[in-house]
Structure 1
């Protein structure tokens, strides 16, 4: 199963935080395999908490053994990695050393209290779509929207500044 995950960080050494998240994912063994990693993008905060440092973002493509992992189970793993990296949720949308969002899980469509797939705001966020296009230029959302169509539909395009990738 191909899975796309958005990573973001705006506390501490943000690039190191994103790299550490990849290392922690690899610790789960052969049933989660890192396939592609986008470059880093620096983007301004969005949402209600604007007074915080800019984010370093990237998108990763994973190959996940769907016989072992379910989307809710993988979300729990992402939440555990965020916590291990020091994330607290005291201020919703506030500064954080790591944020991990499942953007897409194959062509799965689900809407649960704690998980919606594909990510409900993915098509509205250039900081998701630009790096997604970089590693998956032919990506199509389950509703048939291409990554290019989603990018073209965004009114506010804060793509950020592309940072170099050191991996």
Structure 2
């Protein structure tokens, strides 16, 4: 079986964020051997970063998945993530606003691509501490396809470490 390593960023700040993240993981687990959870970061509470600042802090987490590449392509997996978001109540009424669940593919192996639907690696991943800090936790030696390490990406951005509060560590 040919597999690909995929990193996904999860975020939630509506309803019960902890439950939303856990439910997203549970729904991914229903795919059995096709999608296998290999690692998950702790859950971090982070300040809203988008244009809507007056909203609850986000619960953010990064997961590492091993995906059966003979069954799944990146675009199909993104469609599944979007469906899981919708099943958990995600609406896209306010760009950058509160959401029950956000699932972003950060990287799909070494794939570099850009379509109307999907860009890999995620074009904003290297500028988001709420992605890089948990990514570093589970993949400290991760290297983006262009050769940038997670440490280099973190040192290139300015963020307030105190803007991160560890909320839950993986068991």
TM-score by length of 2: 0.94
Report what 2:36 is aligned to.
33
In angstroms, what is the RMSD of aligned CA positions? 1.1
Does residue 27 of structure 2 align to residue 24 of structure 1? yes
Give 1:4-23 correspondences, 5 Å limit.
Answer: 4-23=7-26
Secondary structure of the 1:131 match is helix
Q: Deviations over 1:42-91 (max 9, x none)?
A: 00111111111110000000000111100100000000000000001111
After the TM superposition, which residues 6-155 of structure 1 pair with which residues of structure 2 at under 5 Å, given as runs? 6-155=9-158
Distance between the aligned counterparts of 1:9 and 1:49, measured in 2?
14
Write the deviation string for residues 1-29 of structure 1: whole angstroms up to 9, x where unpaired: 00000000001111111011000011122
In structure 1, the partner of 2:168 is: 164
Cα distance, 1:156 vs structure 2: 3.1
Query: Conserved in 1, the CA contact under 8 Å of 2:40 and 2:170?
Result: no
Aligned-residue offset at 1:166: 5.3
Structure 2 runs not aligned, ≥5 long: none
Once structures 1 and 2 are overlaid, which stretch shifts more, 20-29 or 56-65? 20-29
Residues of 1 paired with 2:36 and 2:57: CA distance? 29
Partner Cα distance (2:67, 2:109) in 1? 10
Quote the Cα distance in structure 1 between the aligned partners of 2:24 and 2:150. Answer: 25
